[in-house]
């Protein structure tokens, strides 16, 4: 099978399209023919050239997982003995947060992995939305906000941000989305009650306070946002911060009992629940993919380069099926 293989750490140039052994489903496993996947910030982090703590589990000297890709959507091609939930021909989507492996034509996962039958009427490209939603939902859940309470989402135009706006609205939370001018219409369309253009004004000076402030893009700090919080308000970020301050502040908050800063980490044990939750939200018309660009698998290195600009809007999709099979001309990015 064709796969994007990364055998060493480095720039996007280290990602090679190669033939790799096609997996076969053992008992209890499902073989998926992958049609769509994404390049996300996690894939970039797993491949990055400069050493980081990520290498403690990604592999000290070279990557342990040579085929990356967490989000997938495709068709079940075969099932192993004893599988009852899925059958060949099912269109499925989901998340592979432990073994990755979706940057390839085939992916084999246990039947009880984080996957579900795709909602009717949703295309493969529109179904590869789970990674951002998983991070977003992990944070939203940790805020413990009730319907009618308020959240400010900073960086609401990225994969996590666009998911957070939609999921917060699904939970009945009042959303103020902070984005650049070019994304104002987008976040209004996703359901944001209020928007703030961070390129036109200092968002920390707005005349309102919130039950939660969520830095969905990891570009601000608790100290910068403190005055936006109500007395019991909570701050969370998706990023460690330049001095690793976000997890440290969260630990300090827990020790002192103030709970002003939290740093929740997504758990693979909860990934299946988020896939099923997303399916329900998509069926209810409350969640949709925000697709920035699509690339064929052969151009995945270009997709990495684009994602690493940190300028993408929503997700960047990789079409794994060859153009002829997919019936589309995918000779370059679809901006």
Interface residues with ligand NAP (CB under 6 A)?
A: 40-42, 45, 132, 135, 155, 157-161, 179-180, 182, 198, 216-219, 238-239, 310-313
In the bound complex, what is the minimum distance in angstroms from residue 161's beta carbon to ligand NAP? 6
Whose CA is closest to 315, among 66, 30, 49, 69?
A: 69
Q: Cα separation of 131 and 138, whole Å?
A: 11
In the bound complex, what is the minimum distance in angstroms from residue 143's beta carbon to ligand NAP? 16
Residue with tokens 């968002």: 203
84: its two tokens? 């009852």
In the bound complex, what is the minimum distance in angstroms from residue 85's beta carbon to ligand NAP? 28
In the bound complex, what is the minimum distance in angstroms from residue 214's beta carbon to ligand NAP? 11
If the CB atoms of residues 286 and 308 are measured against ligand NAP, the closer one turns out to be 308
In the bound complex, what is the minimum distance in angstroms from residue 310's beta carbon to ligand NAP? 5
Residue facing ligand NAP at closest CB distance: 158
Three-state secondary-structure class, residue 28: coil
If the CB atoms of residues 57 and 325 are measured against ligand NAP, the closer one turns out to be 57
In the bound complex, what is the minimum distance in angstroms from residue 267's beta carbon to ligand NAP? 14
If the CB atoms of residues 41 and 279 are measured against ligand NAP, the closer one turns out to be 41
If the CB atoms of residues 258 and 311 are measured against ligand NAP, the closer one turns out to be 311
If the CB atoms of residues 266 and 296 are measured against ligand NAP, the closer one turns out to be 266
Q: Cα separation of 333 and 301, whole Å?
A: 12
If the CB atoms of residues 90 and 162 are measured against ligand NAP, the closer one turns out to be 162
If the CB atoms of residues 179 and 229 are measured against ligand NAP, the closer one turns out to be 179
In the bound complex, what is the minimum distance in angstroms from residue 177's beta carbon to ligand NAP? 10
If the CB atoms of residues 117 and 180 are measured against ligand NAP, the closer one turns out to be 180
Q: What is the dihedral of CA 233, 144, 236, 229, to 10 degrees?
A: -10
In the bound complex, what is the minimum distance in angstroms from residue 291's beta carbon to ligand NAP? 12
Instruction: Characterize 317-329 residue by residue with b for buried, 16 or more Cβ atoms within 10 angstroms of its Cβ, and e for exposed.
Output: bbbbbeeeebeee
H/E stretch holding 193 reads none
Contacts of 37 by beta carbon, 8 Å cutoff, 6+ apart: 69, 70, 71, 72, 73, 102, 103, 128, 317, 318, 320
Q: Cα separation of 181 and 76, whole Å?
A: 42
Q: Cα separation of 319 and 203, whole Å?
A: 37
Whose CA is closest to 93, among 278, 314, 266, 270?
A: 278
Q: Cα separation of 312 and 47, whole Å?
A: 18
């Amino acid at each position: 099978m064709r796969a994007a293989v990364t055998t060493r750490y480095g720039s996007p140039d280290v990602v090679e399209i190669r033939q790799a052994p096609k997996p076969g489903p053992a008992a209890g496993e499902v073989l998926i023919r992958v049609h769509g996947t994404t390049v996300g910030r996690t894939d970039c982090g797993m491949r990055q050239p400069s050493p980081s703590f990520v290498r403690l589990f990604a592999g000290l000297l070279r990557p342990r997982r040579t085929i990356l890709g967490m989000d997938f959507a495709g068709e079940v091609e075969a099932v192993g003995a004893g599988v009852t939930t899925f059958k060949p021909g099912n269109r499925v989507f989901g998340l592979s947060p432990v073994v990755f492996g979706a940057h390839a034509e085939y992916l084999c996962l246990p039947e009880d992995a984080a996957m579900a039958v795709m909602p009717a009427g949703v295309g493969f490209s529109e179904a590869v939305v789970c990674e951002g939603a998983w991070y977003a939902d992990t944070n939203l859940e940790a805020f413990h906000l009730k319907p009618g309470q308020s959240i400010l989402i900073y960086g609401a135009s990225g994969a996590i941000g666009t998911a957070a706006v939609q999921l917060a609205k699904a939970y009945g939370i009042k959303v103020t989305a902070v984005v650049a001018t070019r994304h104002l219409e987008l976040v209004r369309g996703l359901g944001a009650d209020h928007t703030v253009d961070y390129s036109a004004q200092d968002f920390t000076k707005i005349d309102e306070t919130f039950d939660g402030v969520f830095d969905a893009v990891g570009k601000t700090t608790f100290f910068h946002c403190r005055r936006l919080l109500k007395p019991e308000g909570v701050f969370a970020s998706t990023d460690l911060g330049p001095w690793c301050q976000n997890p440290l502040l969260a630990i300090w908050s827990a020790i002192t009992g103030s709970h002003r800063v939290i740093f929740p980490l997504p758990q693979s044990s909860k990934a299946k629940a988020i896939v099923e939750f997303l399916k329900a939200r998509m069926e209810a018309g409350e969640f949709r993919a925000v697709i920035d660009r699509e690339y064929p698998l052969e151009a995945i290195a270009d997709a990495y380069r684009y994602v690493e600009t940190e300028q993408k809007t929503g997700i960047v999709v990789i079409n794994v099926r060859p153009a002829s099979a997919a019936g589309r001309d995918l000779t370059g990015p679809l901006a």
